[in-house]
Amino acid sequence: MALDLTLRTIHFSLNGRWLRGEPAQVAGFPLGVPSAEPVFPLFVVSGRDRLTANFGQNPFVYEPPAGHAPGLWQ
């Protein structure tokens, strides 16, 4: 995922391929959150589902898109 807090959009990729195209070239999905409001991540899992998240603490398999930081604090 690539989150653009300036434009308030989000992009999704699967195995290095962006679903709508490169984030620098196409609009992402609108967050629907006003610019004055904070954004918090939320993941829903149930049953035997498992979730592994990398917020930049480890190297990524795929490079982040141009203009996006590789983690929350970089």
Nearest Cα neighbor of 73 from 53, 52, 56 is 56
Q: Give the pLDDT score at 29.
A: 92
Other CB atoms within a 10 A radius of the CB of residue 28 amount to: 20
- The tens place of each residue's pLDDT in the chain, 74 residues long, gives 888 888 888 999 988 899 888 888 888 999 888 888 888 878 888 999 988 888 888 888 888 888 888 876 65
